[in-house]
Amino acid sequence: MNSRTLQTTIIFLVVGGILALALGGFFGGASRQVSSVWIETQTWISSRYVGFQDFVAAPRDITSLRARNAELEAEVSRLQTQVIELQQRVNQTDILAALVDFSRSNPESAYKAAAVIGRDPSPFLHYIIINRGSNDDIQRGMPVVTNQGLVGRVDAVIADAARVQLITDPASSVNVYLQNAKTDAVLLGSVTGDVSLDMISQNAAVQGGDLILTSGLGGGYPANLIVGQVVTLRNLQFELFQQATVQPAVDFTRLEIVLVITNFRPVDITPLVP
Amino acid sequence: MKNLVAFPLLALAVILQSSVISQVKLLSGYADLPMLMIASWALQERVKSAWHWAALGCALIGFVSHMPWFILLVGYCAVVFIAQTFQKRVWQAPLLAMFSVTFIGTLVVHLFTFAALRVLGTPFAFADVIGLITLPSLLLNMLFSIPIYTFMRDLARWVYPPEEYE
């Protein structure tokens, strides 16, 4: 070993020893001051480096975050659409289940379900348009019901659609039977969509809440379809008949799916009318 | 040829009328989209096919509605007549003309419908029709008239471009 190498080795050993003693805490306050300066310097440099790194990397992160945000927003709107569709299906399923229950409890009739796809363009008339027509064996005059009660009857038919006159139409009249009073009457529509009873015998004891069913007279509708309930009675002694206002069983503002009774053939009594 | 746009446009208007507008009720009345389109079309200066549009509108509505076709035909032709009369006299204030035609046209169509249906045997009370159908429909028609007029004015410029006219 030459003298230069020996000198270097000694210097390394001395410096290493001093460092070891300093890190071991043997230099006391001087050691703490050195280490605190070191740490502060490192902290300053480190914080500046992190700031610089953020500055350089931030645009890329914002771009990727925006892209991710857009993806998530699209996903949210897709899921919201799906939720709405599923809610609609649940509603339709509920309606169809109720209609199936109704058809099972009335097995004497054959039914064909149809969706309501429109209403008459004129506010003077109360008609709906359904998506079943002559291709589905729908014929003019067939009664239309829901699980709640009578809706109306088919007025006109084309291949894939039919127009239905509601019982609320001003030109509609249905022969009905008041179950409790055991008397016949005529149910009339009106321009406002309200329905009323007329031609109730003065001798009949009609009360609010009495159930109204179709009587089947005249052959326009089958008997015993629920129409509604009597709300109030108007009884004037000088009139020939009593009148009553009626709460229809069907909510005509929310008609979505209806049942057409396909095995009923209306009787045309026009030739018998004097 | 561009006039053939009447077929899809009026068909769409009748579909919208039947499926959407008829559900947007004020009391028992609702707006008459085909009538407003025909009225605003007839009010355009260069348009010469307003009567054709009225006839086509009647045919399309008659296909959907239970309303007898002759009621629609007379009503809509009356609207075209009123619109063309106003267009010649109030040509400097088209929106005023549109409001006037909408107002008078709605009243005329409803009065004629009421009278014809009464004659055909439908029991209507005049007060009910005015209060529950005509006045609410009038209000809705007035509300719809401005956007429809704007749309039809742009359509008229497309169907009858100025250079073709001159």
Q: Dump pLDDT digits (tens) for A245-261.
A: 999 999 998 888 899 99
pLDDT for the residue B159: 86
pLDDT for A35 beyond 70:
no
Give residue-wise pLDDT tens across range B101-122.
999 999 999 999 999 999 988 8
Give residue-wise pLDDT tens across range A90-135.
888 888 888 888 877 777 778 899 999 999 999 999 999 999 999 9
Task: Give the gap in angstroms from C-alpha A138 to the nearest C-alpha of chain B.
Answer: 17
d(CA A89, CA A45): 62
d(CA A128, CA B62): 14
Interface A-B: count of C-beta contacts within 8 A: 79
Task: With CB atoms and an 8 Å threshold, state whether B19 touches A123.
Answer: no
A201: alpha, beta or left? (left if phi > 0; alpha if psi -120 to 50): beta
User: Can you tell me the mean pLDDT for A215-229?
Assistant: 89
Place of tokens 């009391």: B27
As beta bridge partners, residue A229 has A211, A247
Give residue-wise pLDDT tens across range A52-76.
777 777 666 777 888 889 999 999 9
For A189, name the nearest residue in chain B, comparing CA atoms only.
B123
What single-letter amino acid sits at A13? L
**Parts of chain B with a pLDDT under 70:** 91, 163-166
Q: Give contacts of A133 with chain B, Cβ < 8 Å.
A: none
pLDDT for the residue A244: 92
The beta-carbon neighbor of B65 closest among A125, A188, A192 is A125
Task: With CB atoms and an 8 Å threshold, state whether B122 touches A170.
Answer: yes
| Residue B48 Cα distances to A139, B41, B58, angstroms | 42, 9, 18
Task: Give the gap in angstroms from C-alpha B121 to the nearest C-alpha of chain A.
Answer: 8
**Alpha helices in chain B, H assignment, sequence order:** 6-19, 33-42, 50-64, 69-89, 94-119, 126-128, 135-159, 162-165
pLDDT for the residue A253: 86
Give residue-wise pLDDT tens across range A162-190.
999 999 999 999 999 998 888 999 999 99
Q: Give the pair of three-digit tokens for residue B104.
A: 């008078």
pLDDT for the residue B91: 67
d(CA B110, CA B132): 12
Give residue-wise pLDDT tens across range A231-245.
998 888 788 888 899
The beta-carbon neighbor of B28 closest among A121, A156, A191 is A191
The beta-carbon neighbor of B67 closest among A122, A170, A191 is A122
Task: With CB atoms and an 8 Å threshold, state whether B66 touches A156.
Answer: yes
The beta-carbon neighbor of A170 closest among B23, B123, B137 is B123
The answer to whether A129 faces chain B, any CB pair under 8 Å, is yes
Task: With CB atoms and an 8 Å threshold, state whether B129 touches A170.
Answer: no
pLDDT for the residue A75: 92
pLDDT for the residue B166: 47
Q: How far is CA A39 from the centre of its chain?
A: 65
d(CA A37, CA A265): 104
Task: With CB atoms and an 8 Å threshold, state whether A123 touches B14.
Answer: no
Task: With CB atoms and an 8 Å threshold, state whether B22 touches A119.
Answer: yes
Show Cβ contacts of residue A153 under 8 Å, excluding neighbours closer than 6 positions: A141, A142, A143, A144, A164, A165, A220, A221, A266
Task: Give the gap in angstroms from C-alpha B103 to the nearest C-alpha of chain A.
Answer: 17
The answer to whether A193 faces chain B, any CB pair under 8 Å, is yes
d(CA B124, CA B25): 19
pLDDT for the residue A152: 94
Rg (CA), chain A: 43
Percent of chain B clearing pLDDT 90 (strictly above)? 52
For A155, name the nearest residue in chain B, comparing CA atoms only.
B66
Rg (CA), chain B: 15
Strands A226-234 and A173-178: unpaired
Task: With CB atoms and an 8 Å threshold, state whether B137 touches A121.
Answer: no
The lowest-confidence range among A41-50, A215-224, B29-38, B72-81 is: A41-50
pLDDT for A1 beyond 70:
no
* CB A134 within 8 Å of CB A250: no
Task: With CB atoms and an 8 Å threshold, state whether B124 touches A191.
Answer: yes
pLDDT for the residue A51: 80
Interfacial residues of B (vs A; Cβ cutoff 8 Å): 14-15, 17-19, 21-23, 25, 28-30, 32, 34, 61, 64-67, 113-114, 117, 121-125, 128-129, 132-133, 137
Task: Give the gap in angstroms from C-alpha A245 to the nearest C-alpha of chain B.
Answer: 17
pLDDT for A30 beyond 90:
no
Q: Give contacts of A187 with chain B, Cβ < 8 Å.
A: none
pTM of the model: 0.75
pLDDT for the residue B40: 93
